[in-house]
Amino acid sequence: MIREKNNVFYLETENTEYIFRITEGGYAEHLYYGAKLNDDNTVPFEDKLFFVRGSCIEVDDVSRRISMEHFKSEFSENGKGDVREISVDIVHADGTRTCDFVFMSSDITEGKYELEGLPSSYAGNDSVMSLVVKMKDNNSGSILELIYGVFEKANVITRAARIINNENGSIRLRKIMSSQLDLDEYKQYDFVGFAGAWAYEMNMVRRPIKAGITSQASFCLNSSSRFNPFCMVCESKACEDYGEVYGFNLVYSGNHYESAYMDVFGKVRFMQGINPSEFGFVLERGGVFVTPEAVMTYSGSGFRDMSRNMHRFVRENIVRGEWKYKERPVLINSWESCYFDIDEDKLFTLAKTASECGMELLVIDDGWFAGRNDDTSSLGDWSVDADKFPSGLANLSDRLKSIGMDLGIWVEPEMISENSDLYRAHPEWAVRIPGKKHALGRNQMLLDLTDNDVRQYITDAMRRVFSCADIKYVKWDMNRIVSDSYGNGSTDNQLEFAHRYVLGLYEILGTLTSEFPHILFESCSGGGNRFDLGMLCYTPQIWGSDNTDASCRVHIQTGYSYGYPMSCVGAHVSQCPNHQTRRVVPLSTRFDVAVFGALGYECNLDELSQLELGQIREQIRFYKKYRKNIQSGDFYRLMEDENEIQWMSYDDAAGTGAAMIYRKRVVPGASFSRIKLCGLKPDAVYEFTGGEHEKIMTTGDVFMKAGVKISEGFVHGDNENDARFLVDDSTRIYILEERK
Ligand code: DGJ
């Protein structure tokens, strides 16, 4: 709900409230973001700015003189004394850089606003209102729109900004953020980001915010595994179930920037948007620039509730289309099974065994198109390799149907190999500075998505691929980052290249996903190098990491779970020894970790023993029984220490859930594991079963407050019958069912 009273705007969700006002002089002053309040009176928490300190700059705000340096602003600007980090920086038509944005008008509407050319959240089954506050620059006449969306049930507030050039000539945008949040000075805050690399995604980095700038960014062209755009600012004592936590994300797949600037008094300014170092946009008179959408949520009770808000929001208001809540198929992927060594018969044999185990879809990964026998060639030439598939892919999909399997395919549409017919015909379509030597990544170059002809080529080529057989699933990969950036669609100003590339990508994805609504799309970028809300607007799931070792995956997936529901993380059971780490981890562990995500298998089934195939059959039977509950349930991180991780997913409507316990090393004498469950109905009675012996019936209240102690995880001479037979890297899954 959004209300305005005496120039104060109240943005309320079920449990949170965001308040700002327009001062007498027309400035947008932030007042509060936190737990919902039961009184509209803002006087108690307004800043008491009685005088302007020492060397600060004074701004006349009609009835008071203020310094912008100490003002909690909704969107800070350059040139009027706010010498902290600012949100908008413009070179005006006359070459000056000062802005003085003051209130013009506001518009509150039911429903969700749209952002032209960009993906953004939508109302879904939530009740959503939008607010646009129009500000005019006293100096130049240009317009700044501050855009807000309020998602009542999700407890989320979205933001964006729009600039309209009203000046007598072109202006240059040097920086424009999507959101800014000025926080009061009385708390010690931490900045929590998720840093990573290839096969090493989503490692939590928690830093105390000190005077100055604490920041993170992507410079890769995509949102990147280096720093995921999801991050948090929390009070320094915050943990899973205690403390004030703000969660932030950006609906964007390009270079992003997040920072927390603390002044010497302890006021913290958070901002998030397109990375200004890789950006600069020229707007002609009348031209409009709209930022990507930022997402914010607040929890007064720790990370867990913040994550739950984000999960619900992503599931209900970001992911869309036919596959939004549809149970995702169990797939077998050819990559770690066969790499480039594929052909129709080999894949059919793999699929046959997979189908006997209960799997539902075969994904032909890399290597299916003409001339592609390793990673040095052929990207861009999207025709089926006639040697490997002499009867085309349609023949394989027909054969698969006869054994109850569907067909999926891998593509990497944004890329071009130098050794390809496409490059020979159109070298100018590759991203490279004309006449200069270009650096390769995985032997390939990017296609220039700022160029209309290139976008048309990719769209047509993919249309043909997706229609050449009964394709039910597409894995959209992207295996390099940018270098030597240059776009034909941004020839006058190469600082526009990165953002225009992302807009081009969204145009292609928008066209293809709406033309092929039945296809389940999974995004991928050498694993999690583009795991963001922008991609999730088109693809309901993203391959979490090329690291398929469950003992690493359990950490990577825990990292994702802070900002994203596990149902959008592609997770596979792969071969042992693991192909990335050579580690041997039990098959049950590999399954128990993958089962919380969108499950697949990625191993050569025909090399497995009958015993292992029997285990896999049993795993898939189990998964199919609980897949709906696990995929649509609320996910909780129950606990984590040096030797143990516990997760849980619970479907409240069905009263069914699953809890997982991961023991890294067997340590005789170590304490019992205790699982304290979350999210249950206190008075309902549940049965908890699983592991070796556990079969316990009690109330949700007992399970949540006292928890369940699990039997010992090591053996003791002949007294072993009561123990869990664990080896290092062992897991157990327990099922929880409400007894009505
Ligand atoms: C990188 C992906 O992350 C892998 O899963 C696989 O699809 C390869 N690319 C294929 O080249």
Asked, for residue 604, whether it belongs to a domain, the answer is yes
Do residues 56 and 192 both lie within one domain?
A: yes
C-alpha–C-alpha distance, residues 338 and 43, integer Å: 67
Distance 474 CA to ligand 1 centre (A): 13
Do residues 236 and 101 both lie within one domain?
A: yes
Query: What pLDDT was estimated at residue 603?
Result: 96
Do residues 188 and 255 both lie within one domain?
A: yes
Residue ranges of the chain with per-residue pLDDT less than 50 = none
For residue 610, give the H/E element and its range. helix 610-632
Residue 531: which of 251, 297, 278, 291 has the closest Cα? 251
φ, ψ at 187 (rounded to 5°): -125, 150
Report yes or no: 602 and 337 within 8 Å, Cβ to Cβ.
yes
Query: What pLDDT was estimated at residue 249?
Result: 99
* Position in ligand 1 atom list of the atom nearest CA 365: 7
Query: What pLDDT was estimated at residue 554?
Result: 98
Q: Which residues pair with 35 in a beta bridge?
A: 16
Distance 525 CA to ligand 1 centre (A): 8
Asked, for residue 665, whether it belongs to a domain, the answer is yes
The residue whose CA has the least distance to atom 10 of ligand 1 is 366
C-alpha–C-alpha distance, residues 541 and 200, integer Å: 19
Report yes or no: 387 and 370 within 8 Å, Cβ to Cβ.
no
Query: What pLDDT was estimated at residue 51?
Result: 80
**Could you tell me the CATH number of the domain that includes residue 704?**
2.60.40.1180
C-alpha–C-alpha distance, residues 555 and 548, integer Å: 11
Distance 336 CA to ligand 1 centre (A): 9
The CB density around residue 54, as the number of other CB atoms within 10 Å, is: 6
Distance 447 CA to ligand 1 centre (A): 18
Secondary structure (3-state) at 693: coil
Please report how the helices 587-594 and 550-561 are oriented relative to each other, as an axis angle in degrees rounded to 10.
10
Q: Which residues pair with 146 in a beta bridge?
A: 133, 161
Cα 76 versus chain centre, distance: 27
The residue whose CA has the least distance to atom 5 of ligand 1 is 546
The residue whose CA has the least distance to atom 6 of ligand 1 is 335
* Position in ligand 1 atom list of the atom nearest CA 527: 3
Helices (H) and strands (E) in the chain, counts: 12, 40
Point out the catalytic residue in the list 61, 126, 385, 477: 477
Largest CA distance in the chain: 89
For the record, the structure tokens of 599 come out as: 């499950």
Residue 158: which of 313, 311, 320 has the closest Cα? 313
Single residue among 632, 664, 698 that ends a domain in this structure: 632
* Position in ligand 1 atom list of the atom nearest CA 602: 5
Asked, for residue 441, whether it belongs to a domain, the answer is no
Secondary structure (3-state) at 288: strand
The residue whose CA has the least distance to atom 9 of ligand 1 is 526
Strands 281-283 and 2-5 come out as unpaired
* Position in ligand 1 atom list of the atom nearest CA 335: 6
Does the model's pTM come out above 0.85?
yes
Cis ω for the linkage preceding 577 (within 30 of 0): yes
Point out the catalytic residue in the list 100, 546, 549, 634: 546
Cα 412 versus chain centre, distance: 20
Do residues 337 and 226 both lie within one domain?
A: no
Q: What is the DSSP string of 590-601?
A: HHHHHTTSEEEE
Q: Within a 13 Å sphere around the CA of 509, how many CA atoms are in the beta-carbon half?
A: 28
φ, ψ at 305 (rounded to 5°): -70, -30
Do residues 228 and 376 both lie within one domain?
A: no
The residue whose CA has the least distance to atom 2 of ligand 1 is 526
What is the domain range of residue 69? 2-317
Query: What pLDDT was estimated at residue 666?
Result: 86
Asked, for residue 7, whether it belongs to a domain, the answer is yes
C-alpha–C-alpha distance, residues 716 and 171, integer Å: 76
Distance 477 CA to ligand 1 centre (A): 7
Which of 379, 476, 478, 543 maximizes ligand 1 atoms within 8 Å of its Cβ, making it the mutation to test the pocket? Answer: 543
Do residues 404 and 256 both lie within one domain?
A: no
**Could you tell me the CATH number of the domain that includes residue 85?**
2.70.98.60
C-alpha–C-alpha distance, residues 65 and 62, integer Å: 7
The CB density around residue 577, as the number of other CB atoms within 10 Å, is: 11
Do residues 613 and 643 both lie within one domain?
A: no
> Known catalytic residue: 592?
no
* Position in ligand 1 atom list of the atom nearest CA 526: 3
Do residues 692 and 647 both lie within one domain?
A: yes
The residue whose CA has the least distance to atom 3 of ligand 1 is 526
For residue 409, give the H/E element and its range. strand 406-411
Q: Which residues pair with 686 in a beta bridge?
A: 698, 738
DSSP letter assigned to residue 192 = E
Report yes or no: 715 and 730 within 8 Å, Cβ to Cβ.
no
Distance 20 CA to ligand 1 centre (A): 47
Distance 537 CA to ligand 1 centre (A): 21
The residue whose CA has the least distance to atom 4 of ligand 1 is 526
* Position in ligand 1 atom list of the atom nearest CA 525: 3
Distance 374 CA to ligand 1 centre (A): 12
* Position in ligand 1 atom list of the atom nearest CA 543: 3
> Known catalytic residue: 477?
yes
* Position in ligand 1 atom list of the atom nearest CA 410: 7
Do residues 33 and 75 both lie within one domain?
A: yes
The residue whose CA has the least distance to atom 11 of ligand 1 is 366
Secondary structure (3-state) at 379: coil
DSSP letter assigned to residue 109 = E
Asked, for residue 343, whether it belongs to a domain, the answer is yes
Single residue among 580, 615, 632 that ends a domain in this structure: 632
Distance 335 CA to ligand 1 centre (A): 7
Which of 339, 365, 601 maximizes ligand 1 atoms within 8 Å of its Cβ, making it the mutation to test the pocket? Answer: 365
Please report how the helices 610-632 and 344-357 are oriented relative to each other, as an axis angle in degrees rounded to 10.
70
Distance 600 CA to ligand 1 centre (A): 14
Q: How many domains does the chain have?
A: 3
Report yes or no: 548 and 566 within 8 Å, Cβ to Cβ.
no
Instruction: Tokens 């399954």: give the residue.
Output: 591
Secondary structure (3-state) at 468: coil
C-alpha–C-alpha distance, residues 287 and 117, integer Å: 14
For residue 260, give the H/E element and its range. strand 256-262
Asked, for residue 442, whether it belongs to a domain, the answer is no
Q: What is the DSSP string of 421-440?
A: HHHHH-GGGBS--TTS----
**Could you tell me the CATH number of the domain that includes residue 387?**
3.20.20.70
Do residues 574 and 695 both lie within one domain?
A: no
C-alpha–C-alpha distance, residues 288 and 735, integer Å: 53
Burial of 216 (0-12, 13-18, 19+ CB in 10 A): buried
Within 6 Å (CB) of ligand 1, which residues are found?
Answer: 335, 365-366, 410, 477, 479, 524, 526-527, 543, 546
C-alpha–C-alpha distance, residues 229 and 294, integer Å: 10
Do residues 312 and 346 both lie within one domain?
A: no
Single residue among 632, 666, 689 that ends a domain in this structure: 632
Asked, for residue 427, whether it belongs to a domain, the answer is no
C-alpha–C-alpha distance, residues 240 and 637, integer Å: 8
Distance 526 CA to ligand 1 centre (A): 5
Annotate 113-165 with three-state secondary structure: CCCCCCCCCCCCCCCEEEEEEEEEECCCCCEEEEEEEEECCCCEEEEEEEEEC
Report yes or no: 600 and 676 within 8 Å, Cβ to Cβ.
no
Distance 482 CA to ligand 1 centre (A): 18
For the record, the structure tokens of 474 come out as: 């597409």
Report yes or no: 540 and 568 within 8 Å, Cβ to Cβ.
yes
Asked, for residue 107, whether it belongs to a domain, the answer is yes
Burial of 506 (0-12, 13-18, 19+ CB in 10 A): buried
Distance 410 CA to ligand 1 centre (A): 8
Instruction: Tokens 């027309």: give the residue.
Output: 26
Distance 365 CA to ligand 1 centre (A): 7
C-alpha distances in Å from residue 731, one per residue of 578, 629, 658, 675, 690: 17, 20, 13, 13, 11
Strands 541-543 and 520-523 come out as parallel
Do residues 303 and 346 both lie within one domain?
A: no
Which of 443, 546, 553, 574 maximizes ligand 1 atoms within 8 Å of its Cβ, making it the mutation to test the pocket? Answer: 546
